[in-house]
Amino acid sequence: IFAGNLPVLHFPDWETLPYDAFSPHPQIVSQRIATLYRLPDVKHGVLVVPMTTLMQRIAPRSHITGSGLVVSKGQKYNLAAEQRRLEASGYRHVPQVAEPGDFAVRGALIDIFPMGTAEPYRIELFDDEVESIRSFDPETQRSQQQVDKVDLLPAREFPLTEQAAKEFRDNLRERFPIDVRRCPLYQDMKEGVTPGGIEYYLPLFFEHTATLFDYLANDALFVLGEGTGEASEAFWTQTAERYDQRAHDIERPVLPPTELYLSPEQLREQLNKRLRVEVVDSSHEHAVAAGTQPAPELPLNRKGEEPGTSLRHFLENYPGRVLIAADSAGRREALIETLASAGLKPENVEGWPAFLLPLPAGEGVRFAITIASLEQGFALTKPALTVLTERELFGERVRTERRKRRGAARDPESIIRDLTELSEGSPIVHVDHGVGRYHGLVSMELGGMEGEFLIIEYAKGDKLYVPVAQLGLVSRYSGTAPELAPLHSLGGDAWERARKKAAEKVRDVAAELLAIYAQREARGGQAMPIDRQLVEEFGASFPFEETPDQEQAIDAVLADLAAPRAMDRVICGDVGFGKTEVALRAAFATATAGKQVAVLVPTTLLAQQHYSNFADRFADWPVKVDVLSRFRSSKEVNEALKRLADGQIDVIVGTHKLLQSDIKFKNLGLVVVDEEQRFGVRQKEQLKKLRAEVDLLTMTATPIPRTLNMAMSGLRDLSLITTPPAHRMAVRTFISAWDPATIREAFQRELQRGGQVFFLHNEVQTIERTLRELEELVPDARIGVAHGQMAERELEKVMADFHRQRFNVLVCTTIIETGIDIPTANTIIINRADRFGLAQLHQLRGRVGRSHHRAYAYLIVPDRKSITADAEKRLEALASLEELGAGFTLATHDLEIRGAGELLGDEQSGQIQEIGFGLYTELLDRAVRALKSGKVPDFDLTSEHETEVELHLPALIPDDYLPDVHARLTLYKRIASARNDDHLRDLQVEMIDRFGLLPEPTKTLFALSSLKLMATPLGIRKLDFGANGGRITFREKPEVDPMAIIKLVQRLPRVYKLEGQDKLRITLDLPGATERIRSAQEVLVLLGARRPG
């Protein structure tokens, strides 16, 4: 903001503690390497660095500048040699590129995520020359823009060449009396594996290490923040303590602190040689006034005053110039309007440098506004100048930046049907044969043709080989824990019975669901007159860039509101992914259409937070917001209820009390339910009644299985928000027994970087005892307590104090589970995590990791032997799903773990356990669709229904084209399940983009699927084309006009001949793939099929 065109670099801390056995997040390493690479060339600029990081000994300049590579269009490129160089630079060879430091090779394509760049690149070779370089989206793996060259910086802060690894091992042996067979560090480096936490052995890679001082010019000016000296002393003491604890570990010996860091004395010595400015307290003996002070608080809406009175007085009496800093363009426009209504007109300037420019008359702009996201304002005495932020004008306001993120929305169905999560031995369902176990993909020759098959093993060791073109009949089994999944016999009738029984039950469930649905349709609901332009204007004040999923969800909700039937939509998005914004737009659209909105939340704390969110966003609009909660006196509540009944309140926020019969609305149009899974059965029943009458919008991070299933069967519409805000990092999750050392370490890791910690202890009776234990364990922490039995005012004060960082540890119960948004809290420790459900654990973990820092979750459990198998599985599912946006995937896991008892009552859960959730939802979907259109449900999902296509040509994805088995499996499934030719065409484009031009066998695979799509609606059982022609076998009642067949035979009797009742023979010379495919297409079109678009 203030640097103008000067580069501002950041050299972040590793965000690990000294001697940690895991490595920093790749994004942090990427930023550090990019900064070290740029530093020597930056003549004028700003470098922001934590004091403790300035103490680090780092790689010499020669390693960073000498290990970089440049890849340009048109250059010669030896793939094998470059792959070795990348590995030696520390890049990881992975099946699919996801984060900085990854690379993947597929035929003539190499995908790489270089350090220091915001996105990965795809390098395409033609022979041994670079033909093109394109950036791509790691979420969708689809290409974006062409570039001419890309810089590849080293991926680690140390070399990983064979020579470097050998020197490391030699140095390790020389330094420590280790038994090399028993030292994991030594063995890992010998095997070519980079062990976690190797950064703390950096000096063993180099003859001499450097420090940041070596990268900076001698005339660099150091500005030291207040307390940096104390911070360096405290860090040095802590490092020495951690060294003493680990110094005698013979399996993982550690280097003394002096080899890894400058001591506080050495640091001071270095700083004394440089120009420096130290920021100190005014009581310091050498303090000189810097002429700065905090900006005055000038609230625009102070009670009992005209809007803007205090700001107007300030401007009249202040001799200098004033600049208002707004967070975004939308906020700037809203502020200009608010100020205009108070009779104040600031001039709009481009930025800080433009504000400082003098006008032709000699002096600058006196009162201006610009876009600058500042945490708080300040005032200078010389020249007299004040910068005001929204914090001074509106009181507490916490904002975070979000950059634009491109990414495709995830399709809810594909998440469940996806086969990527399959590992050897996983249960898998085949529609014809039942539940077996997956045993991998295998290539075999069959009738002289090479093909790839998926192996399913059934009871008694029987194996079924499923051709990849028929993977549409296979789905991942979920519905109970894998070891409890049934195992059917090939050829037995148990599967047939289970499927029939499930189909009957499904029909009943579908009928019950449809009764609710029909009631809703019959009532019709009212189409709301939505003023799109007004909603757009309101949306402009959103301080972030909407993610694509968010935009889709907002559009869908507005369309639902405008439709003449009651809306019932679920917005499922991970914690902090922006669901509230969707609700805000819906509430705004409803309120401006003259109807009332009720926002239902499970807890009082969340009600307060939502209320301040809504009130804040609606501050500039004629929308009245109020809240009913325990924090209000009964007089205030009664007053609010009266205004609600009179229609003077547009949006009311509250807990389930809002559902009570004595609460009257004048004209209720929309109910927004947050965290539906936290409401009890009675409240859900009340909601069910509402569902048929008003528009209902449900927001949830982990949808409970019932909502998931309703959504999947198309009765409640589902919008997924899976794109994380920019710069969010996944939460690192540990499962551990209660161990004072681990807990102290967790506190130190967070408090050292100035963050805050949630310590969750869910027993009010023993919470005070836990508080005392923690005070002894971490004496320098400032600890507060919050639980539901505290007085309202006290609880509100504690939460506000924690928010303002008046203390840095909050010992609390699950009262923090929903909605509490504290970006500086990035560690959560959950005591007795085995007592929580999966959805709840996911919610709790979502309290942290809401900023660009690496967040940590510690699940503290008693001895593993004493917790239930179910609890252990829940914890493992949570730890394995560290990715962002995992809420939806977790809900499907929850189904597997809890079975589906809650889902549809116990009787249904039995059916789901028998046939698997994927197949169950497919049956349910069919039943619902059929009953909706008044038909009898057709539960025949078997292969009988599909046309079998045989071209006597290899049809597969060769493993030299795509070596990763999981990726091949997923693509086979997607090709086999494609619903139409557009899907197939999109898939072809995607595969060419990701893996290169399609080989012939893969083109044939696509042709098989396309022919199947043409032939199945005609009622054709089998389509068989070979070198000498082909044969078409019809089902009993084909959807083909008999006259079309007769005309064919009459017109070309040498080519077409009927064989018996159900076969049409074609005699033609068809030597290759092109002729067979074209001929099959032509015959199908003549029989009435649609030609592929």
Q: Is the pLDDT of residue 900 over 50?
A: no
pLDDT digits (tens, 9 = 90+) for 931-959: 666 666 666 655 556 788 999 888 889 88
Is the full-model pTM beyond 0.75? no
Domain match, 675 and 584 both: yes
Average pLDDT over residues 992-1010: 91
What is the rounded distance in angstroms from the CA atom of residue 531 to the CA atom of residue 591?
11
Residue that has been written with the tokens 């519905």 in this structure: 479
Domain match, 634 and 752 both: no
User: Out of 475-479, 636-640, 1057-1061, which region has the weakest mean confidence (pLDDT)?
Assistant: 475-479
Q: Collapse the DSSP code of 271 into the 3-class scheme (helix H, G, I; strand E, B; otherwise coil) and give the result.
A: helix
Band (303; pLDDT cuts 50, 70, 90): low
Residue 379 · residue 294 · CB < 8 Å? yes
> CA-CA-CA-CA torsion for 595, 601, 604, 605, nearest 10 degrees?
-110
In a domain, 286, yes or no: no
In a domain, 284, yes or no: no
Domain match, 44 and 191 both: yes
Domain of residue 760, CATH code = 3.40.50.300
Residue that has been written with the tokens 């700001």 in this structure: 311
* Residue at 853: amino acid letter: H
Q: Is the pLDDT of residue 410 over 60?
A: no
Q: What angle do CA 193, 198, 200 make, to 5 degrees?
A: 170
For 871-888, give one letter per residue: b (16+ CB within 10 A) or e: bebbbebbbebeebbbbb
Residue 783 · residue 807 · CB < 8 Å? yes
Average pLDDT over residues 157-166: 89
Residue 565 · residue 553 · CB < 8 Å? no
User: What is the residue-wise DSSP string for 616-641?
Assistant: HHTTTTT--EEEESTTS-HHHHHHHH
| Residue 817 in tokens | 């589970």
Q: Collapse the DSSP code of 505 into the 3-class scheme (helix H, G, I; strand E, B; otherwise coil) and give the result.
A: helix
In a domain, 265, yes or no: yes
Helix (H) or strand (E) holding 610: helix 604-617
* Omega of the bond leading into 26 within 30 degrees of 0 (cis): no
Domain match, 318 and 254 both: no
Domain stops at, among 859, 883, 907: 883
Residue 110 · residue 69 · CB < 8 Å? no
Helix (H) or strand (E) holding 221: strand 221-224
Domain match, 984 and 1025 both: yes
In a domain, 920, yes or no: no
Residue that has been written with the tokens 């307590």 in this structure: 785
> Residue 386: what pLDDT?
92
Higher pLDDT, 365 or 230: 230
User: What is the residue-wise DSSP string for 57-98?
Assistant: -B--HHHHHHS-EEEETT-B--HHHHHHHHHHTT-EE-SS--
Mean pLDDT of all residues belonging to the chain: 81
Task: Give residues with Cβ within 8 angstroms of 680, minimum separation 6.
Answer: 656
Domain stops at, among 346, 373, 394: 394
User: Out of 62-66, 334-338, 714-718, 1081-1085, which region has the weakest mean confidence (pLDDT)?
Assistant: 714-718
Domain match, 667 and 741 both: no
User: Where do the H-state alpha helices sit in 1017-1072?
Assistant: 1042-1051
User: What is the residue-wise DSSP string for 679-738?
Assistant: S-HHHHHHHHHHHTTSEEEEEESS--HHHHHHHHTTSSEEEEE-PPPTT--PPEEEEEE-
Domain match, 533 and 669 both: yes
Domain match, 326 and 194 both: no
Q: Collapse the DSSP code of 775 into the 3-class scheme (helix H, G, I; strand E, B; otherwise coil) and give the result.
A: helix
Domain match, 712 and 808 both: no
Domain stops at, among 210, 238, 272: 272
- The 10 Å Cβ neighbour count of residue 225 is 11
Domain span at residue 788 reads 732-883
Domain of residue 347, CATH code = 3.40.50.11140
In a domain, 1066, yes or no: yes
Number of domains in the chain: 6
CA distances from 388 to 212, 322, 381, 394, 971 (A): 35, 7, 15, 11, 55
Domain match, 57 and 73 both: no
In a domain, 1057, yes or no: yes
Band (65; pLDDT cuts 50, 70, 90): confident
In a domain, 556, yes or no: yes
> Residue 788: what pLDDT?
81
Q: Is the pLDDT of residue 742 over 50?
A: yes
3-state secondary structure 844-873: HHCCCCCCCCCCEEEEEECCHHHCCHHHHH
Average pLDDT over residues 359-385: 81
Band (133; pLDDT cuts 50, 70, 90): very high
Domain of residue 148, CATH code = 3.30.2060.10
Exposure of 739 in the CB half-sphere (CA atoms within 13 A): 11
Domain match, 321 and 194 both: no
CA distances from 283 to 279, 286, 288, 382, 947 (A): 12, 9, 10, 22, 87
Domain of residue 1047, CATH code = 3.90.1150.50
In a domain, 596, yes or no: yes
Domain match, 767 and 841 both: yes
